[in-house]
Amino acid sequence: MQNRSVWERACGLTRTVVEGVAFDDEAQAIVVSARPVARARNRCGHCGRRSPGYDGGAGRRRWRALDLGTTKVFIEAPAPRVRCHEHGVTVAAVPWARHDAGHTRDFDDLAAWLAVRTSKSAVMELLRVAWRTVGSIVTRVNADIDATVDRLDGLRRIGIDEISYKRGHRYLIVVVDHDTGRLVWAGPGRNDTALNVFFDELGPERSALLTHVSADMADWIARVVAQRAPNAVRSADPFHVVAWAIEALDIERRRAWNTAKGRRSTRGLARQGRSTGDAQRISHARYALWKNPDDLTGRQRHQLDWIAKTSPRLWRAYLLKEGLRYVFAVKGDEGKQALDRWTSWARRSRMPAFVQLQRRIAAHRDAIDVALDTGLSQGLIESTNTKIRLLTRIAFGFHGYQPLVALAMLALGAHPPRLPGRI
């Protein structure tokens, strides 16, 4: 008797009767035979409701539990089926594991905790599990949290963005809460339908409480937001606006490179020219032009100095990009005045890419002014995207998008996984 309760404690078992313990030589593991206590028996695996028994199911089965020291542990028990009023014939619930899981609840929780805090190889080597298994585990743990808390409650100011992964073949829509800095929703796709799923889950009452929605200027996002969040002011995402300027700068950079190579224009007939010294230097200065001046290395600073002296037009394009970044750095009324000056500067620049950019900015001026007033989304969406992009890399071995979404929610949401056995 004494021993049994020690084993119950050691394996973190509750509402469970330990029948015996043995060492399985073949599996090189401790096998704890158990059964749920009477009141935990004959319950539906989905809803936990007490249900009439159906049959013995597939007989006894094993659940991987947390290791004891260096030794693997399995809980072994019968897995009968019940007939639930609502869910039909299903495997009965057990107190130590989630439904349809091959691992105990504690094992799941530890794996999820490690998955958001350590590397892929650390999780696999420490727990001795396949990476795909970890994908199923984080999906289960996340679904469990979803069933107990509503992550969409209390939202007022949100940011919406799309990110691509699997080399641009897959897309996720991500929604962040500007007030908590947390990821609150992620789902597959990049169109109206996909974004409408979020607003369906949010529901009309909570959608009406949204005051600010920041997003890039994609028309489909604007359309859905206007329809579904009628009281929200749309705010431009400064990060995206600056990204437009970097695109325009890049067009100028390519033009300068082509000129240096001896072509008359990007569209002119190519006279097969070698990449001469100047063209090469322009090509190498790519990152120096893109980067924020504060992050430049000594060498990159040198490259910019050289461009300032030798390519006045490309240098002006660079200053225009930096001018737009300055607008969002100062924000507020000062930012708006700076943007007015920037606009007329770009209009007179005689660089088609910037003349166009200036028109694009004028078309979205209201949303940009909201961003300057509220200071919304500086960095939050950008940093969330960066983190999700890192997660997509480790989620590569997962099956489908669900484990990726689950991992992202666990890592960046308001309800991180808990260590087993701790409150």
Residues of this chain that interact with Zn ion (CB under 5 A) are: 44, 46-47, 84, 86-87
Which residue lies nearer to Zn ion by CB, 44 or 66? 44
**Distance in Å, CB of 57 to Zn ion, minimum:** 15
User: Which C-beta is closer to Zn ion: that of 57 or that of 375?
Assistant: 57
Q: Is 268 exposed, middle or buried (0-12, 13-18, 19+ CB in 10 A)?
A: exposed
Instruction: Compare residues 82 and 175 and give the one whose CB is closer to Zn ion.
Output: 82
Min dist CB 108 to Zn ion, Å, is: 21
The residue whose two tokens read 């084993």 is 7
Instruction: Determine the residue type at 409.
Output: M
Provide, rounded to whole angstroms, the least separation between the CB of residue 79 and Zn ion: 16
Which residue, 85 or 341, has its beta carbon nearer to Zn ion?
Answer: 85
For the bound state, the minimum distance from the C-beta of residue 90 to Zn ion, rounded and expressed in Å, comes to 7
State in angstroms the smallest separation of the CB of 55 from Zn ion: 17
Question: Is the Cβ of residue 84 or residue 129 nearer to Zn ion in the bound state?
Answer: 84
Shortest Cβ 41–Zn ion spacing (Å): 15
* Token duo for residue 281: 């230097």
In whole angstroms, the minimum distance from the beta carbon of 54 to Zn ion comes to 12
* C-beta of 51 vs 374, nearer to Zn ion: 51
- Tell me the residue number closest to Zn ion, measured at CB: 44
Give me 419's structure tokens. Answer: 């260590």
> Smallest gap, in angstroms, from Cβ of residue 394 to Zn ion?
35
